[in-house]
Structure 1
Amino acid sequence: MKFEIMTEILFELLSKKTVTAKYLAEKYEVSVRSIYRYVASLESAGVPIYTARGAGGGISIVDTFRLTSTFMTEKEFDKVIGALTAIAEGVPDKTLDSAINKLKSVIKNEYASCKMTSGNLIIDASPWGDAVGYKSKLNVIVGAIESISVLHIKYHDRNGTVTERDVEPHFIVFKQGLWYVYAFCRLRGTFRFFKIGRIENATVKAENFTRKNVSEADMGLDFWENAAEAIPVRLEISSAVVSDAQEWLGVENVKEKDGKFIAEAKLPLDGGLISKIMGFAGGVKVLSPDILKTKVVSAAKNLLNNCG
């Protein structure tokens, strides 16, 4: 435990200019005295740490201190390079490519006998059947984010409405197997998530914007497209479509009970959910809530009338 906390403190000091002993003690749930003992042990190991007393003081590490490349093992380097390579293949980025090459050069020099086994993780941003168009569109969006340029997009919402709008892209987000761009929408005057698969085309405009100070907490990543209408849903899944239901809802939300497959999840009550349930062609039965049952029955009747 002592070694683990010391390691965490070291990385804490490397990532921040100054921290207080009280902060570290609260974070690692130890006494302030213990923190000073850990710091003394790091100093004994050759880490140049200095402590300033009084207001504005704290524990710091000299700016020139750097960890040697061997602070990571061969396998750790391999895993990091593999993960970064997978991300770079999904979202190409010149800076990321440069970082990967630097890491590869480090491991080549420090572990000359190491045989790289990276490649177990693959991230492909494009949908099935489209390996070029989607990635080209993603490259345009990433380029707009990096150059802080306004992006003009033609967007299809889930109701089929097509709009053209200017947006200020801030982040690329990968959520529940889907890619989004988080951008300030000038048409609506607010930040929104735009599903990249629903963007028909994207063009970088010759106009820059001022990035807004947005944190991950501000983004609300625990979202549905219509989060205000999300409701608890209970479904009975037939064995014929259980695999598809697991991919849709997640295997952790589809359980076998008394010989039946029951799915429980919080889902948005909208047309997309109705269409999804009907798309299983009778393989999904709504157990609750009643309002969802009513909507599915109504949609089924409309379908029959249209077929007549």
Structure 2
Amino acid sequence: MQESRLFRILYYLLNKGHATAPELAEKFEVSVRTIYRDVDAISSAGIPIYVTTGRKGGIQFLDDYVLGKTFFSDSEKLEILSSLQSLSAVQYPEVDTSLNKLRAIFQIGLIDWLDVDFSRWGSAAKIENRMFRQLKQAIFENREITFDYYNATGESGKRNVYPYKLVYKDKAWYLYAFCLLRNENRLFRFSRIKNLILTEVRFERKADIDQYHSVFPMPEEIGDLIDLELEFTLDVGYRLFDTLDDTAITKHEKGYTVKLTLPENNWLYDFLMSFGNKVTIIQPKSIRQTLITKHEAARAHHKGE
């Protein structure tokens, strides 16, 4: 308990510059005598903190003291700055200011090693950036939001949700939120959210939401998962390695065997159809039959039948 309070005193002083003993005592709900003992403990640890008397007196650090020299090794400083730089690379709002401040505090340079842009080309990028800012505000302020949501068939419906966090998964951005219509947690794909509005309704955030986990509910438009076994010819190997996990691909003399689990949806059928006669569906046979039906429909369409 004392160790935790010592760190909180340090952070408080770093933020405010200086404070009086009564002020700290009230802040951390201890006696003034305890605060002075804490100051002695901090000084004994080699951190240059001292007490001055008089009308403008108080507890403060020595002038020009740099936090990083005591608390962090050079490698730890680089890790912190690199993490912030990664956020900056994906255009996380306001992170550049924090990055510049810490770079100055740590007195260390940093190579510009990463540039990531998740936004789409064209005018859609501005819309998505505005949506990011709105969702960040809604998440931090626990505000209910409402929007029109388009499903896989292009039909829209009004949704009211409690936003919890933003998720980047399977090459797309999603909003993880509690849906008041479905009465359960859902993933909503960014590109299908339209007319987003922040309401003035506040919600109580569940305590376990902030715990990291990677198990999210499947978006409603994704489809059911199925186990696939496929055979591809040798000349399309580059496409397999561009799209699929290497561990799912086995090369042999005549081509590639692919075994993996994917959602059964339009993306899967479009992906398989794009290979033409370069792919053979081994399992499940129902996928093979659906693919035949889709090819026949495409053939009839282009023949004008």
TM-score (norm 2): 0.66
Partner-residue secondary structure (3-state), 1:244: helix
- The residue aligned with 1:131 is 125
| 1:145 Cα deviation from its structure 2 partner | 0.9
Q: Which amino acid aligns with 1:200?
A: K
Instruction: Give the unaligned 5+ runs of structure 1.
Output: 1-9, 15-45, 48-67
- The residue aligned with 1:74 is 74
CA 1:125–1:227 in structure 2 vs 1: closer, same or farther (change >3 Å)?
closer
| 1:192 Cα deviation from its structure 2 partner | 0.2
Q: CA RMSD in A?
A: 3.4
What percentage of residue pairs aligned between the two structures are identical?
22
- The residue aligned with 1:233 is 228
Note if 1:305 corresponds to 2:304: no
Contact preservation (8 Å) 1:137, 1:201: no
For residues 79 and 217 of structure 1, the distance between their equivalents in structure 2, rounded to whole angstroms, comes to: 20
Partner-residue secondary structure (3-state), 2:160: strand
Contact preservation (8 Å) 2:90, 2:118: yes
Partner-residue secondary structure (3-state), 1:132: helix
> Which of 173, 176, 197 is equivalent to 1:179?
173
1:275-294 to 2 correspondence within 5 Å?
275-294=270-289
Note if 1:209 corresponds to 2:209: no
Contact preservation (8 Å) 2:186, 2:218: no
Q: How many residues align?
A: 242
CA 1:263–1:305 in structure 2 vs 1: closer, same or farther (change >3 Å)?
same
| 1:274 Cα deviation from its structure 2 partner | 1.6
- The residue aligned with 2:10 is none
For residues 288 and 226 of structure 2, the distance between their equivalents in structure 1, rounded to whole angstroms, comes to: 13
For residues 123 and 214 of structure 1, the distance between their equivalents in structure 2, rounded to whole angstroms, comes to: 30
| 1:169 Cα deviation from its structure 2 partner | 0.6
| 1:227 Cα deviation from its structure 2 partner | 7.8
> Which of 245, 249, 265 is equivalent to 1:250?
245
| 1:92 Cα deviation from its structure 2 partner | 2.4
Q: Which amino acid aligns with 1:275?
A: D
> Which of 194, 199, 213 is equivalent to 2:193?
199
Contact preservation (8 Å) 2:144, 2:202: yes
Deviations 1:220-273 (CA, angstroms, capped at 9, x unpaired): 238575788212112223455433333332233233222412222111123332
1:1-308 to 2 correspondence within 5 Å?
69-70=68-69, 72-90=72-90, 92-94=92-94, 96-108=95-107, 111=108, 115-117=109-111, 119-129=112-122, 130-215=124-209, 216=211, 220-221=215-216, 223=218, 229-307=224-302, 308=304
Partner-residue secondary structure (3-state), 1:231: strand
For residues 125 and 222 of structure 2, the distance between their equivalents in structure 1, rounded to whole angstroms, comes to: 31
| 1:126 Cα deviation from its structure 2 partner | 0.7
| 1:83 Cα deviation from its structure 2 partner | 3.0
Contact preservation (8 Å) 1:232, 1:267: yes
For residues 191 and 222 of structure 1, the distance between their equivalents in structure 2, rounded to whole angstroms, comes to: 7
Contact preservation (8 Å) 1:167, 1:185: yes
TM-score (norm 1): 0.66
Instruction: Give the unaligned 5+ runs of structure 2.
Output: 8-43, 46-66
Q: Which amino acid aligns with 1:248?
A: T
